Amino acid sequence: MSEVRFDNRVAVITGAGGGLGKTYALELGRRGAKVVVNDLGGAADGTGGGANMADTTVKEITEAGGTAVANYDSVATPEGGEAIIKTALDSFGQVDIVINNAGILRDKTFVKLAPDDLKAVLAVHLEGAFYVSQPAFRAMKEKSYGRFMFTASTAGIFGNFGQTNYGAAKFGLVGLSNVLSIEGKKYNINSNVIAPIANTRLTKELLGPLADSLEPEQVTSLVCYLVSEESDITHEIYSVGGGKFSRIFVAMAPGWAAGKGAKPSIEEVRDHIDQIRNQEGYAVPGSIGDEMKLLMESFKE
Ligand code: NAI
In the chain the domains, ranked by start, together with CATH numbers, are 10-248 (3.40.50.720), 251-301 (1.10.287)
Res 124: pLDDT: 98
Res 205: pLDDT: 83
Closest to 235 measured CA to CA, from 281, 184, 187: 184
- Any alpha helices (H) in the chain, and if so which ranges? 19-30, 52-63, 78-92, 115-121, 128-143, 154, 164-184, 204-207, 217-226, 266-271, 273-277, 288-300
Query: Quick one: which atom of ligand 1 is closest to the CA of 102?
Result: 7
Write 133-138 long-range contacts (CB < 8 A, 24+).
Answer: 133/81, 133/98, 133/100, 133/176, 133/180, 134/81, 135/81, 135/82, 135/85, 135/86, 136/12, 136/85, 136/88, 136/95, 136/98, 137/180, 137/183, 137/184, 137/189
The DSSP bridge partners found for residue 68 are: 35
Q: Would residue 225 show up in a list of annotated catalytic residues for this protein?
A: no
- β-bridge pairing 10-13 and 237-241: unpaired
Q: How far is the CA of 298 from the centre of ligand 1 (A)?
A: 44
244: Cβ contacts below 8 Å, ≥ 6 apart: none
Res 300: pLDDT: 81
Q: Which of 23, 36, 39, 71 to mutate to test the pocket of ligand 1 (most atoms within 8 A of CB)?
A: 39
pTM of the model: 0.98
Instruction: List the strands of the sheet with 34-38, edge to edge.
Output: 67-71, 34-38, 10-13, 97-100, 146-151, 189-196, 237-241, 244-248
List residues near ligand 1 (CB under 6 A): 14-15, 17-21, 38-42, 44, 46, 53, 74-76, 101-104, 124, 128, 151, 153, 196-198, 200-203
User: What DSSP character marks residue 192?
Assistant: E
Closest to 121 measured CA to CA, from 146, 83, 144, 153: 153
Query: Quick one: which atom of ligand 1 is closest to the CA of 46?
Result: 15
Q: How far is the CA of 201 from the centre of ligand 1 (A)?
A: 9
Q: What residues of the chain score a pLDDT lower than 70? A: 301
Q: Rg of the chain over CA atoms, in angstroms?
A: 21
24, 131, 166, 238: which one is catalytic?
A: 166
Res 301: pLDDT: 67
Q: Which of 12, 20, 212 to mutate to test the pocket of ligand 1 (most atoms within 8 A of CB)?
A: 20
pLDDT in tens, 192-209: 999 999 999 999 888 989
- Report the SS3 class of residue 298: helix
Res 1: pLDDT: 83
Helix, strand and coil percent figures for the chain, each rounded to 5: 50, 15, 35
Longest dimension (CA), the chain: 70
